[in-house]
Amino acid sequence: MSDSDQQQGLRTPKKSAEPPDLLRVCGVTKSFPGVKALKGVDLHLKAGELLAVIGENGAGKSTLMKILAGVQDYDEGEVLVDGLTVRFKGVEDAFDKGIALIHQELNLADNLDVAANIFLGREPRKAGLLDKARMRRESSIFLDRVGLKVSPDQIVSDLTIGHQQMIEIAKALSVDARVLIMDEPTSSLSQHETEQLFKVIKDLASKNVAIVYISHRLSEVRELADRVTVLRDGDNAGELFRQEATHDNMVRLMVGRDISKYYALEPRSHGAVALKVDKVRTIQNPKHALSFEIKSGEIVGVAGLVGAGRTEMLQTLFGVMPALDGSMEVQGHSVVIRSPIQAIQNGLALVPEDRKQQGLVLEMAVRENMSLASLGRDQNKGFLNHRREQDISREMVAEMKIKTPSDLQEVQYLSGGNQQKVVLGKWLAMKPRVLFLDEPTRGIDVGAKQDIYKLMEKLAEEGVAILFVSSEMEEIIGMSDRAIVMHEGKLTGTLMRDELTEESVMQLATGTQTKPISNN
Amino acid sequence: MKKIYGILGVFTVVFILTAIMSPSFLTPYNMERLILRTSLFGIISIGVAFVIITSGIDLSIGSIICLIGCGLPWLLVKMTVPLPLAILIVVTLSLLIGLVHGVLITKLKLQPFVVTLCGLLMYRGITRGFTGDQTQGFGKFFSELRWIGVGKVAVPGVPIDTFGIPVPFFLLLMVAILASIFLNRTIYGRYLLALGCNEQAARYSGINTDRMIILAYIICAAMAGLGGVLFILDGNSAQPVVLGNFYELYAIAAAVLGGCSLRGGQGTIIGVVIGTALMQVLRNMITLVDWIPTHIEYAVIGAVILAGVVADEVVKRISASRRAAASRL
Amino acid sequence: MRKLIILSAALAVVLGGITACGPREQGKSGKPRFAFVTNMPASFWVIAKKGVEKAGNDFGVETSYHMPTGNAAGQKSVLENLLARGVDGIAVSVSDPANQTDILDKIAKKTILVTVDADAPDSERLVYIGVDNYTAGRQCGKLVREALPGGGKVMIFVGSVDQDNGRRRRQGVIDELVGRDSDPSRFDPIDKGVTGNGYEILGTLTDQGDPARAKANAEDTLSRHPDIGCMVGLFAYNPPAIMEALSQANKLNKVKIVAFDEDNDTLQGIIDGTVSGTIVQNPYEYGYKSIEVLVALNKEDTSLIPENKFIDIPARTIVKENVVAFWDDLKIKTGETEAGE
């Protein structure tokens, strides 16, 4: 469509004095059975440059990165390193050219120590045996470069996710990576760990390492990137330089239309108390008793760093892991919840953090997932009520704009956003009074995110009390009527909508300040 | 239904090939015997299918067959227990075994493989203990009871001596229909399929997964017990050392051939019955066709199971990539 | 609470199983100890056990009796346990003669070793007590000739032909039927038919010890060869399986059955006339004789050992005329009826 002007931006001026680009991709295509994932993508990168690649899920980011890292082959087009055409036969080929990919899911052997992981597959040997002294010595150098103060002898599984990420980077540096591709590196990092990672990334860039940074988090992109390449539907959608890379510009290129109001939270009046939590203690954080209330029609965000105990709190309230003590009331009635069955009977619902493991039966159809929680209610003396199952599922698919050829499609073939909508639909069919959402928009694209925000608002208007955990600051600030903040298992404070700023949340989340819990 | 195309294809090919290679294959007597054997093995295979659907396994089936199959004549003939009481004991014992398996697996979180492996060893050992390793059988007695195993029902217009439908076939039919209804029409069947794919997601959806898994093991043990009764009623004489040896593997193989995935969550009853029939036709073929050496039987069965599973996987892959394509458009 | 009860019940069952299998008390009296080891568990051996016990009483020695499962490997571990424990003599029915010579020789160095029922001729055993299975097979062949005097089609059913007894019995039947000279080392491939003397031996079907399979084999034979004249079952469970198949096909008395061993159903079949006859070994005598020989050898008395190292306990032919007397005697020996009743 508007390819021509974008191509313009990509073309580097042909000055003979200037060295060729470190990495250059021209018109690369890639097809999978039944789908063309890349339709001729261009990309270029200079040494020491920090390039962000963004796009909705399915835009082709991951495929492109896998091609660059030698994980996958491409069909047509050309990839050039230092101006020479290359075609990687495997990850080792890419390593040889100095290109390393750090996957979203970390690929560490977490039963081994740090040094063993850094040198996995390339262990230095002396007389046929592992040269452990050398491994330890050289690991320290790379650990220093990423600013990580851990011993090379430490077992990886004992480290935090953030530290593990750093080890992946150290590992990449140990193969002399000149291009470091990072796929959603911050998706499971805390704010603090993220900041540390950014420091390392900027430092590497200043030492002439080129970085390709893939993320859904536009605020991060804005902070880091020298340049942003936007992909859409397997094609280049445009390019933005640092000063043009505003939130709105990026979103417009990603979705191909204007999203005027991203968070459109209208003030609402709240009803009576829907859920009262009184001195509940979780197995994971037995030192702190949790007490708070949510009113019907209220959207309460739960902020905090990774490991603050937010997921554990939701799972305890939902009965996945029974509480040690404390009590709960739903709409004024005292309830005992020691299993999800009891939680559901009392009108609670949980959209869990791990959609694929806890939320969905991937091999089952949209319809079967949608009805899973309500089968018991809609049963006909133990028999399935097919009619009702179909009605509910079709209604939900239409209402939530789930993109699927039919509601008999297996959910594993749906995109992340549509999968999340199915999980939501499953609970909406139960008409819950209290809805818990754990990272409801993690890893889903901008369009679907907005659909989910709208849905949360609609439910709140209908009187559902919503408690949602999020690690995205923008989401907490944008969506919460009120936010409660946790730090190391403890509720450190409540912030009303007008008090919500990035600063106020961080102060409570890092435990530098506390503020009494208020339920109004 | 798509799931059974692969196995149905393999079955048809083997059936037609055997008919071409052996003139004895399509005789009424041979068909009658094949139906009988398929019925006996089909019942235990349907039982294990339930456990496999929960992504579990039951290795104790052969030993339960031994325990019940030797126990029934032992109670009736050696102990002269009255028939109703003997049947009550046998039924209770089967259900109890399944219950114990299920409880150990769900509440103590033991692995199904381990629990049922111990069952495999224990039940046969116990049987050999109380029978003193003596051959058990009904002799010439209990011919009314034995009708359930050896009886035939005439087809109109065909002399019963030429061909009759073996009574166990009607039992298989009943079991298969009930199992199909349970699996496809009731919420419990749906729960089983869901928890077989993803137990955690099922639990988060408010399903009492422990209770459903226990139920699956009870069904499996009950079908093995029924199988044990039928095997002894049909064969009349059984040695505790050998009765039911390896039958769990035939049952598991038939279930897998019939489209049950050991990863759980998949399987159709009709597929399992066809899988069982295929195994029986294969064994029959090896005896009937003169140029196939009988001692390579296991090699032939193994190869055909592999071919069946591969065919199934290929069909699945094709339909999966079609679906994936459809949803990306 | 409920979990606890179930758990303890399960535990009780497991423990019960373990103690029941544990080693027996031994060596309390200082009497010589002798062990009798079978090749597999079978009803047949339960009769031998009576002979072992009787001889133990008669000679005032301690006896133990072992029925290993799991073929040669299972038998090997039982033998090794016995060596470790220390016994004055072992009688063993060898599972796999060709491959167990090593362990048998090791035993023969440490204690007195005799073989019974199934021999290992290449080992250092002092004597073999048993039947000549080839000769017994020929006896069985004679029964087939009597059952089918005009010749006809014959199928042989057997657990396996890996074991020496199955292999030699089968060869004996075939050689007798087609009128060959005695040559126990001959072996006809199991799928190949053998014809001669008016008899057509269609082949041999094995079932690996699975009685349901044995029955299926008989049924498949009826499908494949509707004109079959005689079915020969060489392992104890084969004749009852054949009878069941014939009875369900309404062909009892139309197809002759010739049997081996003394399963109750087989003996009843002979009384009823559906089984032409059976060849029985004398397991009671195997048991008794083994202990008698071991006791003598332990006293360094070799007078019982013949030149050819073979003590023949001849097989007997049981037909309608002598079946009742034989069965009554058997019942006394197995303790099913008390002596003198």
Q: What is the pLDDT of residue C171?
A: 94
Q: Do B236 and C265 touch (CB under 8 A)?
A: yes
pLDDT tens figures, B210-266: 999 999 999 999 999 999 999 999 888 888 888 898 899 999 999 998 888 888 888
User: How much is the average pLDDT of C28-32?
Assistant: 73
> Is any Cβ of chain B less than 8 angstroms from the Cβ of C74?
no
Evaluate whether residue A422 is within a structural domain. yes
Pick from A171, A201, A224: which residue ends a domain? A171
pLDDT given at position C166: 87
C240–chain B Cβ distance below 8 A for any pair: yes
Helices (H) and strands (E) in chain B, counts: 13, 4
For A397-448, the pLDDT digits (tens) are 998 888 888 899 889 888 888 999 999 999 999 999 999 999 998 878 778 8
> Measured between alpha carbons, how far apart are the two ends of chain A, in Å?
51
In a domain? residue A213: no
> What are A179-198's pLDDT values in tens digits?
999 888 887 777 778 888 89
Domain limits for position A138: 108-171
- What is the predicted pLDDT for the residue at A55? 83
Q: What is the pLDDT of residue C25?
A: 38
The alpha-carbon gap from B180 to the nearest alpha carbon of chain C, in Å, equals: 28
What's chain A's average pLDDT? 86
A240-254, A412-426, C314-328: which range is least confident on average?
A: A240-254
Nearest to B134 among C43, C205, C241 (CB): C43
Q: What are phi and psi of A305, to 5 degrees?
A: -85, 165
Q: In this model, does residue C27 exceed pLDDT 60?
A: no
Does C276 reside within a domain?
A: yes
Distance separating alpha carbons of residues C341 and C335, to the nearest angstrom:
11
- Position A514 scores a pLDDT of 76
Which chain B residues are Cβ-neighbours of A340 within 8 angstroms?
Answer: 203-206
For residue A126, pLDDT beyond 60:
yes
Q: Which of B107, B185, B187 best probes binding to A when mutated, by most A CB atoms within 10 angstroms?
A: B187
With contacts defined as CB-CB under 8 Å, which chain A residues touch B186? 382-384
Does residue C333 lie within any of the structural domains?
no
| CATH number of the domain encompassing residue A495 | 3.40.50.300
Q: State the nearest Cα–Cα gap between B133 and chain C, in angstroms.
A: 6
Is the pLDDT higher at C338 or at A119? A119
Best probe of the A interface among B204, B212, B314, B317, by most A CBs < 10 A, is B204
At residue C148 the predicted structure's pLDDT band, cuts being 50, 70 and 90, is: very high
Pairwise CB contact (< 8 Å): C224 & B24: yes
pLDDT of residue A57: 67
CA distances B231 to A164, B142, C2, Å, are: 59, 15, 35
Kindly tell me if the per-residue pLDDT of A53 is higher than 50: yes
C12 domain residue, yes or no: no
Min Cα distance B196 → chain C (Å) is 24
Whole-number pLDDT of residue A32: 74
pLDDT value at B323 more than 80: no
Instruction: For residue B234, give both structure tokens.
Output: 């049909």
Q: Is C250 on the interface with B (CB under 8 A)?
A: yes
What are the chain C neighbours of B137 within 8 Å (beta carbons)? Answer: 240, 264-265
SS3 assignment, position B108: coil
Q: Which of C4, C217, C220, C252 to mutate to test the interface with B (most CBs of B within 10 A)?
A: C220
Q: Is B23 on the interface with A (CB under 8 A)?
A: no
pLDDT of C26 > 50? The answer is: no
Same domain (yes/no): C147, C226: yes
Q: What is the DSSP letter of A38?
A: E
Main-chain dihedrals φ then ψ at residue A220, nearest 5 degrees: -65, -45
Question: How would you classify residue C31: left for phi > 0, otherwise alpha for psi between -120 and 50, otherwise beta?
Answer: beta
Number of structural domains chain C divides into: 2
Those residues with Cβ within 8 angstroms of residue B224's Cβ, 6 or more apart along the chain or in another chain: B44, B47, B48, B58, B60, B61, B64, B65, B68, B94
Q: Mean per-residue pLDDT for C242-248?
A: 93
Task: Please tell me if residue C206 touches chain B, with a CB cutoff of 8 Å.
Answer: yes
Considering the domain architecture, whether residues C73 and C147 belong to the same structural domain is answered as no
List the structure tokens of A252: 């417009």
- pLDDT at A457 > cutoff 80: yes
- Per-residue model confidence (pLDDT) at position A262: 60
Local structure of residue A281 (DSSP, 8 states): E
Q: What is the DSSP string of A246-259?
A: -HHHHHHHHHSS--
Task: Select from A171, A196, A214 the last residue of a domain.
Answer: A171
Beta carbons of A361 and B198 less than 8 Å apart: yes
Average pLDDT over residues C239-251: 93
Beta strands in C101-176 (DSSP E): 112-116, 128-130, 152-158
Distance CA B72, CA C259 (A): 27
- Quick check: is A120 in a domain? yes
**pLDDT at res. C276:** 96
Give pLDDT, residue C70: 64
Write down which residue in A126, A147, A171 finishes a domain.
Answer: A171
Query: Which pLDDT belongs to residue C287?
Result: 93
Interface probe for C, chosen from B74, B101, B135 (most Cβ of C below 10 Å), is B135
Question: Is position A97 within any domain?
Answer: no
Residues C292 and C153 in one domain: no
Q: What residue of C is the nearest CA neighbor of B128?
A: C41
Task: Please tell me the distance in Å from B123's CA to the nearest CA on chain C.
Answer: 10
pLDDT at A17: 52
Tell me if B323 and A410 make a contact (CB, 8 A cut-off).
Answer: yes
**Is C143 part of any domain?**
yes
Indicate whether B298 pLDDT > 90.
no
Contact exists between B and A (3 or more beta carbon pairs < 8 Å): yes
Is the confidence at residue B23, as pLDDT, over 80? yes
A172-193: b (≥16 Cβ within 10 Å) or e? bbbbebbbbbbbbbbbbbbbeb
Give the closest-approach CA distance of B267 to chain A in angstroms: 12
The chains in contact with chain B, meaning 3 or more Cβ pairs closer than 8 Å, are A, C
CB contact under 8 A, A35 and B325: yes
- The DSSP annotation for C175-223 comes to HHHHTPPP-TT----TTS-EEETTEEEEEEEE-TT-HHHHHHHHHHHHH
- Which chains reach chain C with 3 or more Cβ–Cβ distances below 8 angstroms? B
Helix (H) or strand (E) holding C245: helix C238-248
Give the separation between CA C215 and CA C230, rounded to whole angstroms: 15
Contact C256, C230 (CB under 8 A): yes
Residue type at A162? G
User: Would you say residue A149 lies in a domain?
Assistant: yes
Contact yes or no, C with A (3+ CB pairs under 8 Å):
no
> From the list C45, C69, C244, which residue is nearest B236 (CB)?
C244
Determine which of A288-302, A355-369, C181-195 has the lowest per-residue pLDDT on average: C181-195
Q: Do A466 and A495 touch, CB atoms closer than 8 A? A: no
For residue A340, give the nearest of B204, B322, B325 by CB distance. B204
Chain A contact present for B70, CB below 8 A: no
**Residue B138 in contact with residue B76, Cβ under 8 Å?**
yes
User: Among candidates B143, A303, A153, which has minimal Cα distance to C248?
Assistant: B143
- Whether C and B touch (3+ CB pairs < 8 Å), yes or no: yes
For chain B, give percent helix, strand, coil, nearest 5.
Answer: 75, 5, 20
A386 pLDDT above the threshold of 50:
yes
Beta strands in A225-324 (DSSP E): 227-232, 235-241, 273-281, 290-295, 299-304
Distance CA A372, CA A352 (A): 15
Complex ipTM: 0.86
- C9-19: pLDDT as tens digits: 555 444 444 43
C125 shares its domain with C212: no
Q: B293: nearest CA in chain C?
A: C191
C265: nearest CA in chain B? Answer: B139
User: Could you report the per-residue pLDDT of A91-116, keeping only the tens digit for each?
Assistant: 888 888 889 888 877 778 878 888 88
CB-CB under 8 Å, B134 with C46? yes
- Pairing between β-strand A210-214 and β-strand A179-183 as defined by DSSP bridges: parallel
**CA C112 centroid distance within chain:** 23
Residue C264 belongs to domain spanning:
133-280
Is residue B248 within 8 Å of residue B58, measured between CB atoms?
Answer: yes
Judged against a pLDDT cut of 70, whether residue B316 lies above it is answered with yes
The answer, yes or no, to whether residue B38 has pLDDT greater than 80, is: yes
Q: Does B142 touch chain A (CB under 8 A)?
A: no
Domain ranges in chain B are 28-255
Q: Does A432 touch chain B (CB under 8 A)?
A: no
Whether residues C274 and C296 fall in one domain: no
For residue B230, what is the nearest residue in chain C, using CA coordinates?
A: C212
Judge whether A65 lies within some domain. no
Owner of token pair 């090379």: A152
pLDDT tens track for B70-127: 999 999 998 999 999 999 999 999 999 999 999 999 999 999 999 999 999 999 999 9
Of C46, C224, C240, the CB nearest to B132: C46
Residue A66's nearest CA partner among A43, A96, A100 is A100
What is the percent of chain A with per-residue pLDDT over 90, rounded to a whole number? 38
Mind giving me the DSSP string for C58-120? HHT-EEEEE---SHHHHHHHHHHHHHHH--SEEEE--S-TTT-HHHHHHHHHHSEEEEESS--
Burial class (CB in 10 A: 0-12, 13-18, 19+), C29: exposed
- A359 at B interface, C-beta within 8 A: yes
What CATH number did the domain enclosing C150 receive? 3.40.50.2300
In a domain, A475, yes or no: yes
- Whether residue A35 lies inside any domain: the answer is no
Q: Does A440 touch chain B (CB under 8 A)?
A: no
- Residue A375: other Cβ atoms inside 10 A: 23
Instruction: Report CA dihedral (A177, A182, A186, A192) to the nearest 10 degrees.
Output: 20
pLDDT tens for C173-218 read 999 999 999 888 888 888 888 999 899 999 999 988 888 899 999 9
CA nearest to B278, candidates B304, B299, B259, B260: B304
**Does the CB of B267 have a partner CB in chain A at under 8 Å?**
no
Predicted pLDDT of residue C8 = 55
Confidence of residue A14 (pLDDT cuts 50, 70, 90): very low
CB contact under 8 A, C244 and B25: no
Contacts of A among chains (3+ CB pairs under 8 A):
B
- Domain contains C323: no
The model's confidence at residue B326, banded by pLDDT at 50, 70 and 90, is: low
Contact status of A320 with chain B (Cβ, < 8 Å):
yes
Cα–Cα distances (Å) from A462 to A68, A243, A299, A431, A479, in that order, read: 48, 42, 12, 10, 16
DSSP secondary structure code for residue A156 in this structure: G
Q: How many domains does chain A contain in total?
A: 2
Note the maximum CA span of chain C: 75
Mean pLDDT value of segment A361-365: 92
Three-class HEC string of A455-479: HHHHHHHCCCEEEEECCCHHHHHHH
